[in-house]
Homo-oligomer: A and B are copies of this chain.
Amino acid sequence: MRRFVADKAKTLINRSRTTCSSSSPITTSTSVLQRLTSSSPQSPAVLRFLSTSSDSMASDYSSTPVTLNNVNPKVLKCEYAVRGEIVNLAQKLQHDLKENPGSHPFDEILYCNIGNPQSLAQQPITFFREVLALCDHPLILDKSETQGLFSADSIERAFQILDQIPGRATGAYSHSQGIKGLRDTIASGIEARDGFPADPNDIFLTDGASPAVHMMMQLLIGSENDGILCPIPQYPLYSASIALHGGTLVPYYLDEETGWGLEVSELENQLKTAKSKGINVRALAVINPGNPTGQVLAEANQREIVEFCKKEGLVLLADEVYQENVYVPEKQFHSFKKVARSMGFGEKDISLVSFQSVSKGFYGECGKRGGYMEVTGFSTEIREQIYKVASVNLCSNISGQILASLVMSPPKVGDESYESFAAEKEGILSSLARRAKTLEDAFSSLEGVTCNKAEGAMYLFPRINLPDKAIKAAEEAKTAPDAFYARRLLNATGIVVVPGSGFGQRPGTWHFRCTILPQEEKIPAIVSRLTEFHKQFMDEFRG
C-alpha cells in the first residue's frame, strides 16, 4: 500500500514537472515587484499552481522534517515559472499526440517559448565542436586519422589551448576565475571588439551567465533594504536572483511607444521613489539587446545611462549576452565598457560588470554552460570578495571555458575553417533576421496587436489589446488575461508562447513573448495558424 501511495505521489510529481528543456520564464517575482509598484495582478496561474500540489499526498510525508512552513521563505518567494501552466499544458498535449495521434487540431507542438536554439535543430558551429572534441580527448591529436576528420586549424587551436592549460590537464580544477591563457584570449577579443584595453584579470569565467549574475547579487544584497533597478519587462533570472538573495527589485519601465526605450527620467523617478521608501539602490541592471523586448540601445542612450550610474553611485550590471544578435542595419551593439571608456571614464570612475554567455549569439551553445563576466571599477578588497565567492565553487567547467574563448576568438580569414565558419554564422544570423521580420509583420497585421521590431536578441514581445470580454473570461478562469490568451492559442494551434506577466509589464497591458527560433520552414505554418486563431479569438470575444 505504502509503495502504491509513493508511486502515485511520484506520478503526480512527474506530471507537474517539465520533461524537456525548461529555460523559459513564465512569471516574474510578483511579491518583489509589488513591494514598489501597485501593478496589476501578475500571473495568478502560477500562484495557483504552487498551491494545488497534491494536498492529499502531503500528509504521507508528515514524518519528514521539511515543510512549506519551515523551508527558507526566500526560496518560496522566488518565482521562476519554467513550470508555468502553459509549458505544463504543452507537455501534456505532446504526450497526448504521441499516445493518440489526431487527438488535437494540430500534429506537433511548436515551442516558441525558449531561447534554446539547438533544441530547435540549430546546428552547432563545426569549428567550435572540433576544438572541444580534440581538447576532450587529446590522445588523438597526433594520430594520422585525425587529419582526415578535423580541420587543420581546429587541431592547431586545440594544441594552443592545451598549451595554455597547466599540465595540459583539461580534467583539473582551474584557477577560480578560469584558465589564465583562455582569459588572455577573451581579453584580446574584448579589446578587438571595443578598441579599448581589457585585462584578463578582470575576467571571471562562469557556467553560463546566470551564476555570474547570482554572484553579483550575492555581493550587493545584504538585506531587503538593498535594491536593484531592473527593467520591466525583464528576464526573470533577475527577479528570481534578487528574491533568492532577499533583496528588493526596483522596477523601471521600458517605454513600449518608443520601441522599448530606456528613459533616464524613468530611472530617476523610480530611484527617487525607492529611496523615499528607505531602499538603498545598489545597481542598475540593463539588458542590451533586450530580453524579452528585443531592442538594441542607441549609443547616445547608453551614454546617458553611464552618466546616471556615475552620478548616482550605482553599479552598472550590463547583460550583454545577445551582443552578436543584432538584425537591423541601423543598429549596432556597443558594449557599456566601450561607451564608458569612450566618455573618458576609467577603471576608477565607474563600477561596471558585463555578462557574456556561449548560450546565445549565433552559436547558441546553451548546454555547454560557458560564459564570463568582465568586472571593472571595483577596489582591490571588493575584488577579493568576488574572487572568494567564485572560489567556493572551485571553477567553471573547462569545456565551457574553452568555448567562451572560441566565441571571443573565432577563425580568421586565411584559416582553413574560416569560410565554412563564416557561412555557418551568416546562415544562422540571416535566417534569424528573416524569421524575426516575418513574425513581426505577422503579429503587426493582427487585429488589436502592436509589435515592436526585434532589433536584436531572440524574441518578439507583441502587445495584445484584449477585448473586455476576454479579460472578464480570464478573470472567471482565475488566470491572467495574457495567460488566458496563450492557453487558448496553445490548445488551438500547438504554438507555445510565454505570457507577458512572466516578465512584468505596465499594469493593464498584455503581451506575450515569442522566440524567433523555430526552423525557418515552420514559420509560415506558425504564421497562418496564429493568424487564424487570433481572428477566431477576437470574433469570440469582440463583444
Contacts of A132 in B (CB 8 A): 136-137
Contacts of A70 in B (CB 8 A): 222, 280, 282
Residue pair B80, A171 in contact (C-beta under 8 Å): no
- Render A362-383 as a binary contact track against B, CB cut-off 8 A, 1 for contact: 0011111100000001111111
Residue pair B137, A130 in contact (C-beta under 8 Å): yes
Residue pair A166, B119 in contact (C-beta under 8 Å): yes
Given contacts A351-B64, A383-B13, A393-B210, is CB(A172)–CB(B240) below 8 Å? no
Interface check A234, CB cutoff 8 A: no
Residue pair B171, A368 in contact (C-beta under 8 Å): yes
Residue pair A64, B350 in contact (C-beta under 8 Å): yes
Contacts of A136 in B (CB 8 A): 129, 132-133, 136, 399
User: Whole-angstrom distance between the alpha carbons of A172 and B57 in the complex?
Assistant: 34
Contacts of A214 in B (CB 8 A): 393
Contacts of A380 in B (CB 8 A): 9, 12-13, 16, 53-54, 57-58, 61
Given contacts A364-B171, A378-B61, A380-B54, is CB(A18)–CB(B176) below 8 Å? yes
Residue pair A20, B166 in contact (C-beta under 8 Å): yes
User: Whole-angstrom distance between the alpha carbons of A169 and B140 in the complex?
Assistant: 24
Residue pair A118, B366 in contact (C-beta under 8 Å): no
Tally of this chain's copies: 2
Residue pair B394, A397 in contact (C-beta under 8 Å): no
Residue pair A313, B65 in contact (C-beta under 8 Å): yes
User: Whole-angstrom distance between the alpha carbons of A133 and B145 in the complex?
Assistant: 15
Interface check A423, CB cutoff 8 A: no
Residue of B nearest to A58 (CB): B379
Residue of B nearest to A377 (CB): B64
Residue pair A220, B367 in contact (C-beta under 8 Å): no
User: Whole-angstrom distance between the alpha carbons of A121 and B172 in the complex?
Assistant: 9
Residue pair A10, B167 in contact (C-beta under 8 Å): no
Residue pair A72, B166 in contact (C-beta under 8 Å): no
Residue pair B118, A172 in contact (C-beta under 8 Å): yes
User: Whole-angstrom distance between the alpha carbons of A367 and B177 in the complex?
Assistant: 13
Interface check A68, CB cutoff 8 A: yes
User: Whole-angstrom distance between the alpha carbons of A60 and B383 in the complex?
Assistant: 14
Min CB distance A119 to B, Å, is: 4
- Render A83-96 as a binary contact track against B, CB cut-off 8 A, 1 for contact: 10000000000000
Residue pair A171, B124 in contact (C-beta under 8 Å): yes
Residue pair B396, A171 in contact (C-beta under 8 Å): no
Min CB distance A459 to B, Å, is: 16
User: Whole-angstrom distance between the alpha carbons of A106 and B387 in the complex?
Assistant: 31
Interface check A315, CB cutoff 8 A: yes
Residue pair A6, B67 in contact (C-beta under 8 Å): no
Residue pair A381, B68 in contact (C-beta under 8 Å): yes
Pick the residue among B58, B148, B364 that contacts A381 (CB under 8 A). B58
Interface check A413, CB cutoff 8 A: no
Pick the residue among B54, B60, B368 that contacts A398 (CB under 8 A). B368
Contacts of A219 in B (CB 8 A): 66, 71-72, 75
Residue pair B137, A133 in contact (C-beta under 8 Å): yes
Q: Which candidate, A341-349, A438-446, A474-482, is the interface stretch facing chain B?
A: A341-349
Residue pair B348, A60 in contact (C-beta under 8 Å): yes
Residue pair A394, B366 in contact (C-beta under 8 Å): yes
Interface check A323, CB cutoff 8 A: no
Residue of B nearest to A216 (CB): B66
Per the 8 Å Cβ criterion, residues 100-146 of A in contact with B are 114, 116-121, 124, 126, 129-130, 132-134, 136-137, 139-140, 143, 145-146
Given contacts A21-B173, A64-B351, A72-B219, could you give 20 more A-B pairs where the C-beta distance is less than 8 Å? A6-B346, A19-B175, A19-B180, A23-B395, A50-B381, A50-B384, A64-B348, A64-B377, A70-B222, A71-B222, A79-B388, A83-B387, A118-B169, A118-B171, A124-B171, A129-B136, A149-B149, A171-B366, A218-B244, A367-B398
Q: Which 5 A-B pairs have the closest CB atoms?
A: A61-B379, A133-B137, A119-B172, A145-B145, A369-B397
Give 25 CB contacts A-B under 8 Å. Answer: A5-B348, A6-B347, A12-B380, A13-B384, A50-B384, A53-B380, A58-B380, A61-B379, A64-B351, A65-B314, A66-B220, A68-B382, A75-B218, A75-B389, A114-B173, A119-B173, A129-B136, A133-B134, A136-B399, A140-B149, A143-B148, A145-B149, A170-B367, A218-B244, A367-B397
